[in-house]
Amino acid sequence: MVACVVVNWNGWRDTIACLRTLTEQTVPLEVIVVDNGSSNDSVARIKAFLAEVAHCQVSITLIEHTENGGFAKGTNIGIRVAMERDAEFVWLLNNDTECPPDTLAKLLREAGGNPGIGIVGSVLYYHHDPTKVQAWSGGRINPLLGTSIHYYAPTEQIRHSYTTFASVLIRTAVLRQIGLLYEGFFMYYDDSDLCLRMERTPWKIAVAADTAVLHKESASTDGPRNPFMEKTIAVSGMRFLRMHSPFFALSLPLFLGIKLLNRARRGEWAACRAVLVAIAEFSRTPLPPPPIPEMTRPNR
């Protein structure tokens, strides 16, 4: 069984558009929507949509979470429900995506070709320009700088070290072994972190090269480089470096220096202030504990 997890925060229009495409998938699946403490009428709107599609063959469950604990926490709530239902795969999907009817079938076909594949990424296209690739699943991670090299075309000779979680199929066996998403990342870096943790195991990453998921980038965060995003990305980046960089004492000043220099050069002073706020938050906040492998988690 495949369970698709979609997290909503104040984005009911995008979420409903996403869910509508999931009701048209050509293979069976269950959908788990986690509302992450929305402050608008998202829950009522989504419930109305669920009543509208109650006759369809796709089962959609809405979980109402009382607070916005971040993307990773909301996603983990949905993943645990999927695992309790004995899902073999979880399909993590951003609420601002739309998927052609054969998307899940193509992801499953790629995963079924090799039982050693733990994660299957998707090819993302811009929603406003479906002819333009946004990401060929993912790319390579530079753990020294906390940055990524994104791929925009097939890379047969170059191995992915991460895949974006805007649309990704994950075997639950992987999550039972290495743990779920790290909830210390409010947004961003959760995909890179989990993929690096999986890299220490025999599991492999694959890409379903014939998928075409449409993505409305930054729809949930008021566009690129607003102060909230700047602070969030900076805190997550510093935590990522603390966890994965072998040269943290060198990596941290490089990461922050490059970020501040780039923002200052563009005259983005609000973004610079947001990075300084992030430094203060990182300095005074202990690093949250790492994920626990689900196979070792005590029964609740």
Q: Which residues pair with 163 in a beta bridge?
A: 138
- Report pLDDT for 156: 55
The separation between CA 228 and the C-alpha centre of its own chain, rounded to angstroms, equals 18
Average pLDDT over residues 144-169: 80
State the pLDDT at residue 111. 96
- 84-105 mean pLDDT: 98
Residue 221 pLDDT greater than 50, yes or no: no
CA distance 157 to 202: 19
pLDDT exceeds cutoff 80 at 215: yes
The DSSP 8-state label assigned to residue 248 in this structure reads: H
pLDDT at 98: 98
**Residues 133, 231 contacting (CB under 8 angstroms):** no
Q: Which amino acid is at 64?
A: E
Provide the whole-model pTM: 0.91
Residue recorded with tokens 């495409």? 21
Structure-token pair, residue 152: 């925009």
Task: Read off the DSSP letter of residue 291.
Answer: P
Mean pLDDT estimate for the chain: 91
Q: What is the pLDDT of residues 226-261, one digit of tens each?
A: 888 899 999 999 999 999 988 888 899 999 999 999
Q: What is the pLDDT of residues 53-94, one digit of tens each?
A: 999 989 999 999 999 989 999 999 999 999 999 999 999 999
pLDDT at 155 over 70: no
Q: State residue 226's pLDDT score.
A: 83
The DSSP bridge pattern shows strands 30-36 and 2-8 to be parallel
| Confidence check: pLDDT of 298 > 80 | no
